[in-house]
A and B are shown apart, each in its own frame.
Chain A
Amino acid sequence: MTAPRPSTAVGAPTGGPRRGRVRAPGRGVPLPLLVPALAGLAFLLLPLLALLLRTPWRSLPDQLTSAEVWQALRLSLVSATAATAVSLVLGVPLAWLLARVDFPGRGLLRALVTLPLVLPPVVGGVALLLALGRNGVAGRWLDDWFGVTLPFTTAGVVVAEAFVAMPFLVISVEGTLRAADPRYEEAATTLGASRFTAFRRVTLPLIAPGVAAGAVLAWARALGEFGATITFAGNFPGRTQTMPLAVYLALQNDPAAAIALSLVLLAVSISVLAGLRDRWMTTR
């Protein structure tokens, strides 16, 4: 007697909400989530909209034909990509170390690695000067042994951007690694793979989405990098003047030009990020 009753009870509501869902606005997204979500969206998009509204469209062609703009844009793209590459080469193994190898002080090290996230970028730039500058703790040896000085060079821009962007990659990859089942590595080991082969042929493909997400984050952060770059690498057109630097300096006496430059940076980043998202993030 009791068995049929719950089945009809279950049957009724399944039809009910489905019919209700069609009618309800927002497809049944609860209001306490919908309202803050839309407010958050507006908060993020409004400044970008304002930028568009205030763009001096008429003078835009003149602004965009200046060689300096394209120089800065090219430098921005090249250095952000190089910084992402550096972050990948150094950051993925670091993330693996933090996620997979148990050693004393790991928690502290994890906190230290994320420090550049909270450090004001200008402070990061000063710290880089003190470390890798011509007179810096390590930079002195670079200069003495190899004749390499990083400040005021494009390499310096890459270093500054990588310093600020790499933690994003490390955090993203480490999170993915911790979520990934370490027993796949063990399985690979029992099949004769060294720990490195296991990492390369099994773990890396497994965490590829996380690595891609981290790389995109790092690239975006590097592209927008200002404080550490101008402090460590200085500002010289064609060599160290990236788009954010050009925007900042244009803002000093020609706000219209600054807006135009920002628009270019924005358009390029959006198209690159959207392209990556389609190709990488969705193929899971």
Chain B
Amino acid sequence: MTDLAAPRTGVTAGQGLDAHLVVDRGGFRLDVRLRAASGDVVALLGPNGAGKTTALRALAGLVPQAGGHLRLDGTSLDRTPPQSRPVGVVFQDYLLFPHLTALDNVAFGPRCRGASRAAARALAAEWLARLGLTDHAGAKPRHLSGGQAQRVALARALATHPRLLLLDEPLAALDARTRLEVRAQLRRHLADFEAVAVLVTHDPLDAMVLADRLVVVEDGRVVQEGTPADIARRPRTDYIARLVGLNLYRGEADGHTVRLDAGPALTTTEDLSGPVFVAFPPSAVTLHRERPAGSSARNLWRCEVAGLETHGDQIRADLTGELPLAADLTTAAAADLGLHPGAPVWAAVKATQTHAYPA
């Protein structure tokens, strides 16, 4: 687990975020290390209740830290109250002040940080222009669309020139169509942002599109960390495996054979020893009604269909038996096999389609 805490990006002592967040909340304990260099966009990814939002609130200073530390650009923020932290937050439902116009919402931060009314409004107008919102400067939040509100919220957070930008589920409040467009815009704005950005999401697609690096949090702890591609290829928990759509098993490798914790052995192309993960996509699984005679696939298990569901133009079969796994097949194939819950099947996976890596 120590390698998880180690910085993957080059964080120099004076720059970026270096945080060890420890929060106690009545039975729930959050203990997360986060490091990021200026210009990085880090996504905290995890299931509901994992503590992502709590981590964000700890970074903003909205929940007291029970331990750990928080340094931003070399300065400790442990004792800095939230209003004095160089941190900007885009809240989940934006929390635009309903009684203020878009312009005054954006001007609120600069005004609180000492700018004159005129200067604050000029700055706000500049930010709104940058985000393409000049036409809506005089609008009250209730007259803004979801995407516009999100951009106003972003402008409001950026107008204080934060050294750390926090985004809590920035796309969750949007409908599917707006989401696509806003995601692309947000990606552009985040790419332009010169300091550290941390966003919280439970949507792997948002995380992979928007972030340079993912930190997966489960039950208050970091379970995996890395680039989107790395995480998608080498999941380390069932949660991530499900998110990225892979069958994942833990086992003990001896050469090309992995003895899975789940029971049977599996042949891989990698030559490893010791504890490993083995992953393969559901599309790599082939199903047979009878035991395939003379099959080259050495990874063959006797299973039973537990459930079926359509998955795009495919059918996903959930199997139990010697090895629980998910398999994708075409509708025609499913009909040929006469698949139905309770039906016995043989499942095969080619060794070349599996991927093993050290645990």
Contacts and interface: CB of A to CB of B under 8 A. Distances in A.
Contacts of A193: 83, 108, 112
Interface in A194-245: 194-195, 197, 201-202, 205-206, 208
A197 B112 contact: yes
Given A187-B91, A190-B87, A191-B109, A206 B62 contact: no
Interface residues of A, number: 19
Contact of B160 (A183, A191, A194): A191
A263 B156 CA distance: 55
B109 A206 contact: no
Nearest to B57: A186
B62 A181 contact: no
> Main SS of chain B's interface residues?
mixed
Contacts of B82: 186, 189-190
B98 interface: yes
A91 to B, nearest CB: 21
B108 A190 contact: no
Contacts of A190: 60-62, 82-83, 85, 87-89, 157
> How many of chain B's residues touch chain A, expressed as a range?
20 to 34
A188 B108 contact: yes
Contacts of A189: 62, 82-83
Nearest to A194: B83
Contacts of B60: 186, 190
A192 B108 CA distance: 9
A208 B99 CA distance: 10
Contact of B109 (A183, A192, A194, A202): A192
A206 B98 contact: yes
Contacts of A188: 97, 108, 112
B99 A206 contact: yes
A181 B98 CA distance: 12
The SS class assigned to the A binding surface is: helix
Tell me which of B61, B85, B95 has the highest count of chain A C-beta atoms within 10 A of its own C-beta: B95
A103 to B, nearest CB: 16
Q: Which of A186, A187, A191, A195 has the most CB of B within 10 A?
A: A191
A194 B112 CA distance: 8
A57 interface: no
B189 interface: no
A192 B99 contact: no
A195 B83 CA distance: 8
A280 interface: no
Contacts of B61: 190
Interface in B279-332: none
B242 interface: no
A283 to B, nearest CB: 11
Given A191-B109, A192-B112, A201-B108, A183 B91 contact: yes
Interface in B30-62: 60-62
A208 B60 CA distance: 28
Contact of A202 (B62, B88, B97, B113): B97
Interface in A153-206: 181, 183-184, 186-195, 197, 201-202, 205-206
Nearest to B60: A190
Contacts of A181: 95
Given A192-B160, A193-B83, A187 B95 contact: yes
6 contacts: A183-B95, A186-B82, A186-B95, A188-B108, A191-B112, A193-B108
